[in-house]
């Protein structure tokens, strides 16, 4: 049996969102992973967590999925705090990473090769107000041809730095102005089938 950790990155902003889509997506992801034979643990960052327990969940997990809304072009700030605490603790305990990979004795070793998470996979599942056509199109004003994965590079770099394989992300686009919940649900199911074994 494989192990999966689903991290809920939702943060409440009064009058803006209640997190219903994030909750729905987490349930669909968890149900599908369990059908694929995964044992699943979850963390709801906003509900509180114990840093050392989160490090152990990362050690335990073969697959880590962050389900989060995108706020101002990244996960909400509580996720950044979570990542800072978990990865720093994982470095100090040498459970997720030993160092940045470089050594004075061997200058050919590359920065970012000191991780201990080889064999693990990381995936983003995102909800955006941005429409899908804003991405992968150099004629679009804001992202100028970047993909959703490129826009969220600062997030996935933490995991790659620690040795994990980064899977293609899944995005629910235009969730405020034109939500298509049934399509999002079908889409994440297909994405999991395609990229998760």
What's the confidence (pLDDT) of residue 114? Answer: 81
Distances (CA, A) of 26 to 50, 63, 68, 82, 190: 21, 14, 9, 18, 15
pLDDT band, residue 99 (cuts 50/70/90): confident
Residue 117 has pLDDT above 80, yes or no: yes
Beta-strand (E) ranges in the chain? 2-8, 38-44, 63-69, 121-127, 165-166, 170-172
Higher pLDDT, 98 or 138: 138
Domain containing residue 70: CATH number: 3.40.50.360
Residue range(s) defining the domain that contains residue 165: 2-195
Pair type for strands 121-127 and 63-69: parallel
Into how many domains does the chain fold? 1
pLDDT band, residue 119 (cuts 50/70/90): very high
Residue 40 has pLDDT above 90, yes or no: yes
Only one residue has tokens 């709801």, namely: 44
DSSP state for residue 164 in the 8-state scheme: P
Residue 44's closest CA among 23, 15, 59? 23
What is the tens place of the pLDDT at every residue in 120-160? 999 999 999 998 898 999 998 888 988 899 999 999 999 99
Alpha-carbon gap, residue 197 to 193, rounded angstroms: 7
């Amino acid at each position: 049996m494989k192990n999966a950790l689903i991290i809920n990155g939702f943060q409440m902003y009064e009058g803006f969102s209640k997190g219903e889509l994030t909750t729905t997506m987490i349930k669909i992801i968890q149900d599908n992973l369990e059908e694929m034979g995964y044992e699943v643990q979850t963390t709801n960052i906003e509900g509180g967590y114990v840093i050392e327990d989160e490090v152990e969940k990362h050690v335990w997990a073969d697959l880590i999925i962050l389900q989060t809304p995108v706020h101002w072009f990244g996960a909400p700030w509580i996720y950044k705090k979570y990542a800072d605490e978990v990865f720093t603790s994982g470095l100090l305990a040498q459970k997720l990473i030993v160092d940045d990979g470089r050594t004075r004795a061997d200058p050919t070793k590359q920065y970012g090769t000191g991780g201990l998470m080889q064999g693990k996979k990381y995936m983003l599942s995102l909800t955006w107000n941005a429409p899908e056509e804003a991405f992968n199109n150099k004629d679009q004003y804001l992202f100028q041809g970047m993909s959703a994965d490129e826009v969220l590079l600062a997030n996935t770099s933490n995991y790659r730095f620690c040795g994990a394989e980064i899977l293609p992300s899944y995005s629910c686009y235009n969730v405020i102005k034109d939500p298509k919940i049934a399509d999002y649900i079908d889409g994440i199911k297909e994405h999991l089938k395609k990229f998760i074994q």
